[in-house]
Structure 1
């Protein structure tokens, strides 16, 4: 049976249309399987909390499982490299911590194994200022007393951090610069060991996001004297900000945001961004964040990208003046 030109043209148009609509359908079908969210920290910290909160809420929104894969180590580089090398299809994402994303590259002694251009912003999820936490038996009740004590006893106070070049280390250096004091930095391999030695009295104070410290603050084992942000934490309403205490330059809020490999298609990013906006802005998500000492803080890709650029400039000055290097 012969195919007429008219029939041939109809078949051709049908095939082309099917291809076009098939491609569109494939794009809108994302995700069609499990999405993996790689977290550059061990379980228990705020980065892990941000990842698990988002994964739990995002799964039902996208209709697929979203699982957390903890890959701690290397100042966040192990996780970042894994996502950088992943297929750019939106099924492997990075729940990133600002300390790793903007400070680790600044303090590295060698060239960073990844660059900002290797990732594209998806959405900011949580924000959490650093808090200044002391062992409860230290005779210091506020920022003024801390600075006075440090000036009267140069080099006697020590502060713990989660490692050389960590955000806690840089925050401590910022406070020293702003207050004109000298303290001893004691680096640990993570917030967990630093917290344990603070509780044990081996170190005097530390800086960090609130979630890991909240149970010990509530029990009276630790004392918090300031929040390093422009506004007070709703979960610690009686604790003044560093600005209120006379040190507005000590502003060290952390953020926790989702990034994707650089070449993930825009329709996938758009869908993720829209779904994250929906879940982060729910009352339930906001309340859970507040209970943990953080704030639900959705920001779109453009806003997150701008934040990264401004933070790189801001922290570079502190790192350079304090001569901070990672191990």
Structure 2
């Protein structure tokens, strides 16, 4: 999965929409009521930070309609997603989901909704890059090949952490271990914070994290970046090569985020919301905020987003099966 910024294509898209007379205020369900944006994650998380940065621009793009963020974390995103799928299909309630939305059907035996058929994809907005980090005092490796050699030499000598069993960070770690041909013990944590703290403390040796979550620790030297997990280098880590550059072309994973609505959202509402989100993420203010977080913004059309959801669900199903991941 590769996300790249195509400014010309985005500009052309916006221009064509404007030419056709499509405005973000058109077909508004009820502009006097706020747009409810449900996030299946906690306050202060990556997706939460991203959306709150975009709210002022989104409000303008919606011709002044207020935007209210509602955090509903729990059960790997299932709690919040359940609210999104049950909301009226009137364009007044949308949600922002990430990889876990399409991972969960392969991890949990029973789901309260269908991850594809019970939503209306509006746009996959972009992605946050992941990086494999190690505790430099515990892991002397300087790159992915050296790390692979260490893990093969001492298969029981190292552990890798994640933010929870079956989460995207768990699968990202499993993806590298599989590509490297090593079997390393997985240690799940309840969240990114405790996970990063224990890697720094040496209780576990390594883990995959979103770049914005560890920018400070990488700069101070408390953690060492082994490789970026996507196919493109990260602006804030220009000297850190990708895993593909280091001989692991199959390692391609990032934390994408997408705007969705409940199933059967009217086409007029899909168009209105899609256009507003694209406009909001192309303002100078939002672009600057995204750049500081190393987020890659490249909105997909609703049709492309639906295809992407299906492909990602199939891809993670294979990875979950290969890594033998089950819900705790």
Same fold (TM over 0.5): yes
Larger Rg: 1
Alpha-carbon distance change, 311 to 29 in structure 1, aligned in 2, over 3 angstroms: closer
Q: Partner of 1:284 in structure 2?
A: 285
Q: Partner of 2:45 in structure 1?
A: 45
Q: Give matches, 1:285-324, under 5 Å.
A: 285-324=286-325
Please tell me the root mean square deviation across aligned C-alpha atoms, in Å: 1.7
Q: TM-score under structure 1 normalisation?
A: 0.87
Q: Give matches, 1:142-221, under 5 Å.
A: 142-221=143-222
Q: Partner of 1:117 in structure 2?
A: 117
CA distance in 2, matches of 1:296, 1:164: 28
Shift of 1:323: 1.3
Shift of 1:315: 1.6
Q: Give 4+ residue runs of structure 1 displaced > 4 Å after superposition.
A: none
Report the 3-state secondary structure (helix = DSSP H, G, I; strand = E; otherwise coil) of the residue aligned with 2:230.
coil
Q: Which moved more, 1:148-157 or 1:37-46?
A: 37-46
Report the 3-state secondary structure (helix = DSSP H, G, I; strand = E; otherwise coil) of the residue aligned with 1:288.
helix
CA distance in 2, matches of 1:311, 1:111: 19
Shift of 1:29: 5.8
Alpha-carbon distance change, 29 to 172 in structure 1, aligned in 2, over 3 angstroms: closer
CA distance in 2, matches of 1:218, 1:91: 42
- Deviations 1:230-266 (CA, angstroms, capped at 9, x unpaired): 1111222111000001001111122101100112222
Q: Give matches, 1:217-236, under 5 Å.
A: 217-236=218-237
Shift of 1:32: 2.8
Where relative contact order (Cα < 8 A, 6+ residues apart) is larger, the structure is 2
Q: Partner of 1:131 in structure 2?
A: 131
Aligned residues: 301
Shift of 1:189: 1.2
Shift of 1:30: 4.3
CA distance in 1, matches of 2:199, 2:66: 38
Q: Is the contact between residue 227 and residue 240 of structure 1 (CA under 8 Å) also seen in structure 2?
A: yes
- Deviations 1:10-55 (CA, angstroms, capped at 9, x unpaired): xxxxxxxxxxxxxxx9934643321111111112221212222232
Q: Partner of 2:244 in structure 1?
A: 243
CA distance in 1, matches of 2:161, 2:297: 27
CA distance in 2, matches of 1:267, 1:233: 37
What stretches of structure 1 of length at least 5 have no aligned partner? 1-24
CA distance in 2, matches of 1:45, 1:217: 19
Q: TM-score under structure 2 normalisation?
A: 0.87
Q: Partner of 1:27 in structure 2?
A: 27
